Amino acid sequence: MPTIDEMKLALENLDPMLVAGMLTNTRIPDAPIDGNHLRSSLNARGLNGALVPATRNELFDFQNACRSVATKRGKNFTGGVRVEVGEVKSDATECVYQITHATVDKQNRVIDHAKEMRVVYSKGFAARHDPISVEIIDPANAQTMELIEQRVRAHFAAHKGKQPGAKVRAIVRDIFRSIDGTRWSSSNSVWFVPVEHAQELAKLQSALREVYPADAGLEFDTIPLPNIAGVTNIVQDKVALNARSDAEKLLNEIGERLSKPGAIKQDSFVRVAEDRRRISDYVDRMSKRLGEEVSLAEETMKLLDAQLMEMMARIA
């Protein structure tokens, strides 16, 4: 039996006319990356760098850094001492968080709070000096507070101005959709991309490999699929499944909006109408590529159109 690498080599040597498209498996690490670097890397390759959000205000990263040291109150917490974090103030000059150790005494049914440290973000220092300072309230636990301070600073430094893995995954999904990518698996990030978009796919792979270190855990593997009936039949089924899933999600979203009283904003209607058009256009394009009509659930699309008409009637 040939190996995956042998099969891949054989398929890569096929005449492009005999290739239906690329089956692509991706894994985007959770570690945050520099958003500006990703944007410039995409733009340099002719991809849509505008999908990468503008760099966040540092204050947002400071607030997340403070909240990151709080003890998670899930079922795994069985009692004892937990770290509580609360915002004291945020004005034009500073943002102040207080760190408290809360001792949970289940036997006596009380919680004792020890106010131990303030963490301050000085807005005038941002981008020029270290904007974070700490004020120890209870010197008795200064050593413990020093460890928490280090965790806050480390989180702030690691995430400041960066995009988390979840956001990068969303950007990659948007790019896949823009090149008519079709989800191959509902549980893994595996996509089918038509052969005419193979160059954009290679550019996306190159851009991601540029911004992620070699040991970051990024995966981006592609295997050409032959243009034979067995493959195109599977792709046809996948296209129909994805289109129905997108239509049902949109149907639920519109239904939720319509269930609320009051007028509907013009931009909300325009967005969902564009989503409905995108689903229909995607199915039409893929039908032409496959040489077979991909059927959309007519009842679902009729419901979508009826709900869009109802939304239109309620535009403010």
Are the beta carbons of 190 and 24 closer than 8 angstroms? yes
Say how far apart CA 42 and CA 117 lie, in whole Å.
Answer: 43
Q: In a 10 Å sphere around its CB, with 0-12 CB exposed, 13-18 middle and 19+ buried, how is residue 212 labelled? A: buried
Give exposure, 53-88, as e/b (b: 16+ Cβ within 10 Å): eeeeebeebbbbbbeebebeeeeeeeeeebbbbeee
- Could you tell me which of 98, 86, 94 has the C-alpha nearest to residue 136? 98
Are the beta carbons of 279 and 286 closer than 8 angstroms? no
Residue 300: the pLDDT is 81
Are the beta carbons of 39 and 207 closer than 8 angstroms? no
Are the beta carbons of 1 and 165 closer than 8 angstroms? no
H or E element that contains 184: none
Question: Which residues of 171-312 form beta strands (DSSP E)?
Answer: 182-183, 190-194, 219-226
Residue 71: the pLDDT is 87
Give exposure, 226-245, as e/b (b: 16+ Cβ within 10 Å): ebeeebbeebbebbbebbbe
H or E element that contains 248: helix 229-258
Residue 1: the pLDDT is 42
Say how far apart CA 229 and CA 221 lie, in whole Å.
Answer: 24
The Cβ of residue 303 has, within 10 Å, a number of other Cβ atoms equal to 16
- Could you tell me which of 171, 108, 101 has the C-alpha nearest to residue 140? 101
Q: Is the dihedral of CA 242, 247, 248, 253 positive or negative?
A: positive
Strand, helix or coil at 120?
strand
- Could you tell me which of 273, 282, 193 has the C-alpha nearest to residue 245? 282
pLDDT digit of tens for each residue in the chain (316 aa)? 444 455 455 555 666 667 888 999 999 999 889 999 999 999 999 999 999 998 888 899 999 999 999 988 765 655 678 889 999 999 999 999 999 888 888 888 888 888 889 999 998 875 567 899 999 988 887 888 888 999 999 999 888 888 989 999 999 999 999 999 999 987 788 999 998 898 999 999 999 999 999 999 999 998 888 888 888 889 989 998 888 889 999 999 998 888 888 888 899 899 999 999 999 899 888 888 887 777 777 778 888 889 999 998 888 7
Residue type, 45: R
Residue 9: the pLDDT is 56
Both structure tokens of 268: 């909300």
Both structure tokens of 269: 């209607």
pTM for this structure? 0.73
Q: Is the dihedral of CA 223, 284, 302, 271 positive or negative?
A: positive
Both structure tokens of 259: 């269930």
Say how far apart CA 164 and CA 62 lie, in whole Å.
Answer: 15
Per-domain boundaries in the chain: 1-55+161-227, 58-159, 228-316
Residue 228: the pLDDT is 83
